[in-house]
Chain A
Amino acid sequence: MSATHFQLDAQGRLQHFLTIEGLTCRHLTEILDIAESLHGVAERRVKKLPTLHGKTVVNLFFEASTRTRTTFELAAKRLSADVLTLNIATSSAVKGESLLDTLRNIEAMQCDMFVVRHSQSGAAEFIARHVKPHIAVLNAGDGRHAHPTQAMLDVFTIRRHKPDFPSLRVAIVGDILHSRVARSLIHALSILGTGDIRVIAPRTLLPAQVENLGVRVFHHLPEGLRDVDVVVMLRLQRERMEGALLPSEQEFFQQYGLTEERLALAHPDAIVMHPGPINRGVEIDSRVADGPRSVILEQVTNGIAVRMAIMSITLGHHARPVGEEV
């Protein structure tokens, strides 16, 4: 049984959130609509909803993260859940405790939701298959496989600027090979009917047969950027030079770095996105990252509402802000 079906219950409702692949347009639109209605909560004097009051959310981070972990924490707190964050990369896993043992122990603390980040592809699904049935598992990034909440906040951000997906041209630029963000975003964009999804990268940073995911492949940045409405830049890890995937950061920036001149090839009101953290001068020039077309910080803000929406859906509560009371 694949993760696609595994994360849905018999009625086709999300009980976990592990991957975008295989979800329907209705699932995605529901998340986006609820996130939209929650978006205003942060603007209020009291930034809280009672939706997950009395619930315990555990962030299980087997891999370092700041942004994702923090926004998940905030999202849970704004829904009034109790939140516990465990950085397991630096605790029991090092002492030789197996993943299942770690899970059993945390499960014994009577939690309702696990937010999981792990360096191995499939880790979130593995955990979802082994936890007690009442626990919802959210994938906060597993290896190169999926980062579905990031993809949702990306399409949420896109929709706020450019709501007509069928007419959109979206380019994803950089290290597609190692990117769970790219894989999940490609699935989300296809499900929403995006007209033209492009990936732009040297061949060493593209996975085999990537075109089968429904994307057009470009190796030449100026050609790939022509007339696009959305540019998504990916982070380039420094260790890619050691793996003989690239000669140098300088050459990568020259060939694939996003500069103002290159951005000028895109549609005049194109937006620029990046999942962060950004490497200035490696994949993106500071003037673009901080420029008027950049929605990078908006993505971070939107991440909270989107994660609130996903948390409330998977725990079976459809959060809608009603009054100001807690």
Chain B
Amino acid sequence: MQIVIQGGRVIDPAHHIDTVADLFIADGKIAGLGQSPAGFIPEQVIDARHQVVCPGLIDLCARLREPGQEHKATIASETRAAAAGGITTLVCPPDTDPPIDEPSVIEWIRRRAKAAGQARVLTLGALTHRLRGERLAEMAALKEAGCVGVSDGGQPIGNSRVLRRALEYAATFDLTVFLTPLDPELSHGLAHEGQVATRMGLPGIPAAAETGRIARDLELVRDLGVRVHFGRLSSARSVELIIRARAEGLPVSADVAVHHLHLTEMDLVGFDSRCHVCPPLRSLRDKDALRAGLVSGAVSAICSDHQPHESDAKQAPFGDTEPGISGLDTLLGLSLRLTRDGVLPLTTVIERLTCGPARVLGLDRGHLGVGAMADVCVFDAEAEGLLESTMLRSRGQNSPFIGWALPGRVTQTLLEGRVVYAREG
């Protein structure tokens, strides 16, 4: 299959390209930019005039709820939502049921994703057996089965000795370790510890629950030289710690969930359970620091932290609801809002959604170089519309962004040179 995407503004941050040109795709790979490759006869022409053509988005953290919680969502339902949102690669953390702590689960997820055929699903293996933080998982076998890293799966390891050994063992097999920086004993609360939580009578989670863990983990990294990625920073001080560690040359990186770039503790007022997330939404100052970290590059990637829920999971008093936001549908729109708000130039936003996360994964993805896998997102950057609940493709309708004006409208998504989403009309 040979496809040409014509006349779009091609933005490929990995190669510092931002130009209006045709993009040529053959046999699932990028075949050329600008000049038609020799002997290229397009079977399909995609008109991308007045639109942006960029690498397909890579989302470092998306819960697809399968296996184990199919009443919330499935790999098929969520990869369809991803494709409609311009996301071509999803990284699935290991806290499925059963957890991703043995090769058969990785194989099973891969088969399900392949059958759905809408997006590439990569897996993170478990650091410890059953994610219990006691015994090591069989990381070598998990790596052979294809996991792209290992992780605590959102259940931080309390025992420092176990964590240190897990890091060392992972490093033996050159695996990047994805950690959730939250001290389990300090994170029993429901909201950022501050005046909003005080007024609402919600138990607080101090910023130190996050920064304390990061500070300790950085010391372990310094000792062991293992690559560590911190997922979902929520506080200003965490960004400072990462900046300092990177300046010292430690092999660490970090991402931020897109909702932390837009919401704060104030959004909890009225006990809005859709804003119940973990780590919690923090202060305005924290939000600004996370944005600044994204600008400076201290934060390498924006992710959706997608957590779809059935409606019952959010229909209860705040503390009885499950945390998490359904984020695949809004990842691109909320990221583009940063450009509209003058926080980040468009090319940088795309960088943090494509080659930024690819670098964290150590994968040759997220760019449009000749020979690269043709994962492409085409969107109209000028279009802007109010988000309505009927527009959400994810099974999870738990989004606090309904009613928000979101820029950007995905018109085509290509996965390995195959159109997996084309906007109608």
State which of B194, B198, B206, B316 has its C-beta within 8 Å of the C-beta of A99.
Answer: B316
Q: B206 to chain A: which residues have CB within 8 Å? A: 208
Given A2-B270, A98-B312, A208 and B197 touching (CB < 8 A)? yes
B269 at the interface (CB under 8 A from A): yes
Question: Which of B82-90, B317-325, B349-357 is found at the contact surface with chain A?
Answer: B317-325
Cβ–Cβ contact B198 & A100, under 8 A:
no
Cβ–Cβ contact A183 & B316, under 8 A:
no
Give the docked Cα–Cα distance between A226 and B223 (Å). 55
Cβ–Cβ contact B270 & A1, under 8 A:
yes
Cβ–Cβ contact A146 & B201, under 8 A:
yes
Q: B194 to chain A: which residues have CB within 8 Å? A: 208-209
Q: B315 to chain A: which residues have CB within 8 Å? A: 98, 100
A145 at the interface (CB under 8 A from B): yes
B277 at the interface (CB under 8 A from A): no
Instruction: Classify the interface of chain B: helix, strand, loop or mixed.
Output: loop
Which residue of chain A has its CB nearest to the CB of B206?
A208
B200 at the interface (CB under 8 A from A): yes
**Interface residues in B20-66 (C-beta closer than 8 Å to A):** none
**Interface residues in A204-256 (C-beta closer than 8 Å to B):** 207-210, 212-213
Which residue of chain A has its CB nearest to the CB of B188?
A243
Cβ–Cβ contact B200 & A208, under 8 A:
no
Q: B7 to chain A: which residues have CB within 8 Å? A: none
Which residue of chain B has its CB nearest to the CB of A209?
B195
Interface string of A38-68 (1 = CB under 8 A from B): 0000000000000000000000000000000
A303 at the interface (CB under 8 A from B): no
Give the docked Cα–Cα distance between A146 and B271 (Å). 13
State which of A1, A100, A144, A209 has its C-beta within 8 Å of the C-beta of B201.
Answer: A144
Give the docked Cα–Cα distance between A210 and B195 (Å). 7
B103 at the interface (CB under 8 A from A): no
Cβ–Cβ contact B198 & A207, under 8 A:
yes
Q: A35 to chain B: which residues have CB within 8 Å? A: none
Q: A107 to chain B: which residues have CB within 8 Å? A: none
Q: A21 to chain B: which residues have CB within 8 Å? A: 199
State which of B190, B199, B270 has its C-beta within 8 Å of the C-beta of A213.
Answer: B199
Minimum CB–CB distance from A92 to chain B (whole Å) comes to 15
Q: How many residues of chain A are within 8 Å of chain B by beta carbon?
A: 28
Cβ–Cβ contact A210 & B198, under 8 A:
yes
A121 at the interface (CB under 8 A from B): yes
A120 at the interface (CB under 8 A from B): yes
Minimum CB–CB distance from A268 to chain B (whole Å) comes to 34
Q: B317 to chain A: which residues have CB within 8 Å? A: 99, 118, 120-123, 126, 142-143
B225 at the interface (CB under 8 A from A): no
Cβ–Cβ contact B202 & A144, under 8 A:
yes
Which residue of chain B has its CB nearest to the CB of A3?
B270
Give the docked Cα–Cα distance between A121 and B194 (Å). 16
A154 at the interface (CB under 8 A from B): no
Cβ–Cβ contact A121 & B198, under 8 A:
no
Give the docked Cα–Cα distance between A118 and B201 (Å). 13
Interface string of A105-139 (1 = CB under 8 A from B): 00000000000001011110110000000000000
Give the docked Cα–Cα distance between A142 and B197 (Å). 14
Interface string of A64-105 (1 = CB under 8 A from B): 000000000000000000000000000000000011100000
Cβ–Cβ contact A121 & B200, under 8 A:
yes
B280 at the interface (CB under 8 A from A): no
A198 at the interface (CB under 8 A from B): no
Q: B201 to chain A: which residues have CB within 8 Å? A: 121, 142-146, 180, 183
Interface string of A3-28 (1 = CB under 8 A from B): 10010000000000000010000000
Minimum CB–CB distance from A197 to chain B (whole Å) comes to 15
Cβ–Cβ contact A145 & B200, under 8 A:
yes
Minimum CB–CB distance from A21 to chain B (whole Å) comes to 7
Interface string of B255-297 (1 = CB under 8 A from A): 0000000000000011100000000000000000000000000
Interface string of B193-234 (1 = CB under 8 A from A): 111011111111010000000000000000000000000000
Can you show 10 pairs from A to B with CB atoms below 8 A apart?
A98-B316, A118-B317, A120-B317, A122-B319, A125-B271, A126-B318, A180-B201, A207-B204, A209-B194, A210-B198
> Which 10 pairs across A and B sit closest by C-beta, in order of nearness?
A145-B201, A122-B271, A144-B201, A120-B317, A123-B317, A207-B198, A121-B201, A209-B195, A120-B319, A122-B318
Q: Which residues does B use to contact A, with CB under 8 Å?
A: 190, 193-195, 197-204, 206, 269-271, 312, 315-320
* Given A3-B270, A120-B317, 14 new contacts (CB under 8 A): A1-B270, A3-B271, A120-B319, A121-B200, A122-B202, A122-B319, A125-B270, A126-B271, A180-B201, A207-B204, A208-B194, A208-B198, A208-B204, A212-B198
Q: Which residues does A use to contact B, with CB under 8 Å?
A: 1-3, 6, 21, 98-100, 118, 120-123, 125-126, 142-146, 180, 183, 207-210, 212-213
